[in-house]
Amino acid sequence: MEWIDYCKTFIPKLKDNYKKCTGKQLNLSNPLTFTEKIQWIKIYDNTMLKSFAADKVTVHKYYQKMLGKDIGIPLLGVYDTPNDIKWETLPSDIVVKCNHGSGYNLILHDKKHSTISHAIATLNKWMKEDYTNRFCELHYTLIPRKILIEPYIDNLVDLKIFCFNGNPRFYQIDKHFSEHRMNFYDMQGSPLTWLSNTQYPANYSIIDEMPLFINEMNTMAEYLCKPFKFVRADFYTAGDKIYGGELTFTPGAGIQSYAGNGDRKLGDMLAL
């Protein structure tokens, strides 16, 4: 079966997921909103390059190729199975991830036997999963499954730059206080008051200053996003360092909801 034909077999599930999560019928023949266009991208815009860049291991090579340097958080190790990990040789504070999906993250501050046993059981479960089966994000299914370990870095500030048709257009900053908030800003740092995620509504009073190095991150995003119709380039800052977090092609699986006409205005930014 050709790859595109295989992708099309997911259309019924894609439509069903979209209806359940948004309450709306999905129009793939003439998508207008951002969330509809992300669903179209899931089926019709899958490439090996996208899988390579979404892979949390090989993205380091993508950074090197596009930027001339690897900006990813350093890798302490890459493994095929949890049994390959020599836990005693690792620092006390680490982040353990799988490379083939979203949310496969464990932060370990204490490597007691019980903690490691739980991590091994969780990793074994994750390594058996094809993340595509959740929300039809087909670029993940082409990623050879690996476990990676990074050093834990305290006080990271994350900033996500939304890039449409090869151009950074705005960025998102998340804040976690008593409630999770998502704030959106144009590339000059002005709030996009028309854009708010309904699950994590914006609150512009909680940010008193813009992150450092926004211009440098914007320049990096310009290089990283060029080959793709849409990508969200995720960055972290810690002190005077910038780290590449990951490249996200289907944020929130494309089923996040936006207040007012935000979904349609975002859709107008994206040419398929």
Give the integer Cα–Cα distance in Å for 31 and 264: 10
List residues bridging with 27 in a β-sheet: none
Residues 243 and 115 in one domain: no
Q: Is residue 101 part of a domain?
A: yes
Domain limits for position 165: 48-69+154-269
Model pLDDT, residue 156:
86
Q: What is the CATH number of the domain that holds 199?
A: 3.30.470
Residues 168 and 264 in one domain: yes
Residues 256 and 168 in one domain: yes
**Token pair listed for 180:** 């999770």
Residues 128 and 198 in one domain: no
Residues 140 and 165 in one domain: no
| pTM over 0.85, yes/no | yes
- Tens of pLDDT, residues 44-60: 999 999 999 999 999 99
Model pLDDT, residue 85:
97
Q: Is residue 204 part of a domain?
A: yes
- Tens of pLDDT, residues 74-102: 999 999 999 999 999 999 999 999 999 99
Contact at 8 Å (CB) between 171 and 162?
yes
Residues 173 and 60 in one domain: yes
Name the nearest CA neighbour of 65 among 223, 237, 240, 239: 223
- Tens of pLDDT, residues 14-25: 999 999 999 999
Residues 95 and 179 in one domain: no
Give the integer Cα–Cα distance in Å for 202 and 87: 40
Give the integer Cα–Cα distance in Å for 272 and 267: 10
If one counts the domains in the chain, the total is: 2
Residues 175 and 55 in one domain: yes
Instruction: Assign 209 a pLDDT band (cuts: 50, 70, 90).
Output: low
Residues 235 and 172 in one domain: yes
Q: Which of 95, 122, 151 is the last residue of a domain?
A: 151
- Tens of pLDDT, residues 58-68: 999 999 999 99
Residues 90 and 104 in one domain: yes
Model pLDDT, residue 177:
57
Model pLDDT, residue 176:
62
Q: Is residue 245 part of a domain?
A: yes
Q: Which of 130, 151, 172 is the last residue of a domain?
A: 151
Share of the chain above pLDDT 70, in %: 98
- Tens of pLDDT, residues 103-142: 999 999 987 777 899 999 999 999 999 999 999 999 999 9
Residues 59 and 188 in one domain: yes
Q: What is the CATH number of the domain that holds 92?
A: 3.30.1490
Contact at 8 Å (CB) between 237 and 211?
yes
Largest Cα separation within the chain, whole Å, is 55
Model pLDDT, residue 30:
97
